[in-house]
Structure 1
């Protein structure tokens, strides 16, 4: 039997694989779409929270007390732990996609984020600098507002961008630590992830703008 053309075989294999994993970007997708998916994955709430906590902890460390590793641990518990729980919910069928497309799924995500934040306050309250504790409180406040607003607006088809709101945390950290470079890089990150969410048709410009503004305003009031 004659073998298929190699390129055709690759495309058929990619199509078969993609049918089993709908979130996988096919090789035939436009470059801009693949970049958008990459940015949405890398600049996602669990990772931006982890980075923000680690950078804040490192910035406030001194010769007597080092808070960098403490910030990293807080980032893991408050950011990655809820993500792991979401993956488990996806595996058992309670969540269809980690994009959390339905109101029920987004409520799951916010509640898990709140759980992670409260665990951080409970476990790491002692030995944690005041700035890190304030940042956790800021995270809890922002997440609670996102939850309440989402419950009210998503049934009407409008939901704020959590990606942009979480990425905006890094702007607050840059302002708090007086790091212009970090604040500028964070602002660029917000623009990039905002573009990716628009390009993927996950959010409108107003949803991206309000999500970013909410985090910046609440973060400024509670941390700066």
Structure 2
């Protein structure tokens, strides 16, 4: 009887975890963060901010995750979150190259300093995730979420500190879905925070 009673709760929590994982996936943060930073950097010139953001988003989100989706379509990757660690190397490397090209272009055409700093943060976080994933399945979701939230707190102030709960929610979703262990999520969050915050503070 207890198993029957608990089944709906488990099913609901699984759905919530799945929605959380998709809504706050690295690709979403990789698109949202350049937009937020670009708009703040160019305010009140909204059109200019959107233009800069689109350039960054193309290289930081569209191209990297387009490569992943293509890999899934061709059967080279099991899923768009690349759940199998051994499959992560090349998509992550291609993602790094794409972000690097985007970063170089942004610097060349004179993008706002804060946006350049944000893209450097994204490159640095992706670099450490790529390096660690060669030997251990670090949570990219947790790393990107923690890095993004830390930058938002720096930009908008202490009022956004409660957003740290979002990192915990993302981490819970990865563990609930069986994609990561608690240690992999905690390590990912710590890596994202320790890389993103000082990097953005130094460059912005």
Shared fold, TM over 0.5: yes
Structure 1 residue 113: Cα displacement = 2.0
Map 1:168-187 → 2, pairs under 5 A:
168-185=146-163, 187=164
Greater alpha carbon shift after TM alignment, 59-68 vs 120-129? 59-68
SS at match of 2:42: coil
Are 2:169 and 1:188 equivalent residues in the alignment? no
Are 2:177 and 1:217 equivalent residues in the alignment? no
Structure 1 residue 97: Cα displacement = 1.6
* Counterpart for residue 102 of structure 1: 84
- TM-score, structure 1 as length reference: 0.77
Structure 1 residue 78: Cα displacement = 0.6
Are 2:27 and 1:46 equivalent residues in the alignment? yes
Note if contact 1:78-1:119 (Cα within 8 Å) is conserved in structure 2: no
CA distance in 2, matches of 1:194, 1:150: 17
Higher helix share: 2
Q: Deviations over 1:138-165 (max 9, x none)?
A: 222221111111112x3xxxx2110011
Match of 2:117 among 107, 128, 134: 134
Note if contact 1:174-1:181 (Cα within 8 Å) is conserved in structure 2: no
Note if contact 1:57-1:68 (Cα within 8 Å) is conserved in structure 2: yes
Q: Which has the larger radius of gyration?
A: 1
CA distance in 2, matches of 1:175, 1:60: 15
Note if contact 1:67-1:129 (Cα within 8 Å) is conserved in structure 2: no
Structure 1 residue 183: Cα displacement = 4.1
Note if contact 1:54-1:72 (Cα within 8 Å) is conserved in structure 2: yes
Structure 1 residue 182: Cα displacement = 3.8
CA distance in 2, matches of 1:201, 1:184: 26
* Counterpart for residue 166 of structure 1: 144
- TM-score, structure 2 as length reference: 0.84
Structure 1 residue 64: Cα displacement = 6.7
Map 1:140-155 → 2, pairs under 5 A:
140-152=123-135, 154=136
Q: Which has the higher contact order (CA 8 A, sep 6+)?
A: 2
Map 1:72-87 → 2, pairs under 5 A:
72-87=54-69
* Counterpart for residue 91 of structure 1: 73
SS at match of 1:201: coil
Structure 1 residue 166: Cα displacement = 0.9
CA distance in 1, matches of 2:91, 2:189: 18
